[in-house]
Amino acid sequence: MTAPTSPRIDQHPDILALRAHSEETTAMPAAQAVEALALLCGVYLAASPWIVGFNGFSTLTANNLITGVAFALLVGGFGSAYERTHGMSWAALAIGAWTIISPWVVSGHAFTTGANVSNVIVGAVCCVVALALAGMGVSKARARR
């Protein structure tokens, strides 16, 4: 007599419903636009020291490069695995908030006006995009009810 086998967790009806919901959410044009904007924010943040011209400030340059790459990689995962990564959109929000305050925190003084304005604007856009990413699944679920 063989022992009964239990079904695999990845075949559970709740998991399948969650995956279907996530696929519907990420297939919406608005969701794809938000993801594209988020990816562009990360790439711009990483390249901003050279675009704006404050790459002479090594601490802020390194900070923006690291946080920009981290933000781009983080939001890049949302499109391909939203059901497992949407909870990390709060980390993207933290990166956006850090971007806003980082010119004053990383060295204790403000950098050039271009660096400050660039970081505040891209940080605010990152925050808005992160909130939009966090709310995508919630608003879709409420619309179903």
In a domain, 1, yes or no: no
Residue 76, pLDDT score? 79
For residue range 66-88, what is the model confidence (pLDDT) as tens digits? Answer: 999 999 988 877 665 555 556 67
**Model confidence at 22: pLDDT above 80:** no
Per DSSP, the residues of 5-70 read PPPPGGG-HHHHHHHHHHHHHHHSHHHHHHHHHHHHHHHHHHHHIIIII-TT-HHHHHHHHHHHHH
In a domain, 38, yes or no: yes
Q: How confident is the model at residue 7 (pLDDT cuts 50, 70, 90)?
A: low
In a domain, 18, yes or no: no
- Of 13 and 136, the structure prediction assigns the larger pLDDT to 136
- Of 65 and 136, the structure prediction assigns the larger pLDDT to 65
Query: Mean pLDDT across the stretch 108-123?
Result: 85
| Mean per-residue pLDDT over the chain, rounded | 79
Number of domains in the chain: 1
For residue range 127-142, what is the model confidence (pLDDT) as tens digits? Answer: 999 888 877 755 544 5
In a domain, 52, yes or no: yes
Query: Mean pLDDT across the stretch 102-112?
Result: 79
Q: What is the pTM of this model?
A: 0.74
Domain ranges, residue 102: 25-144
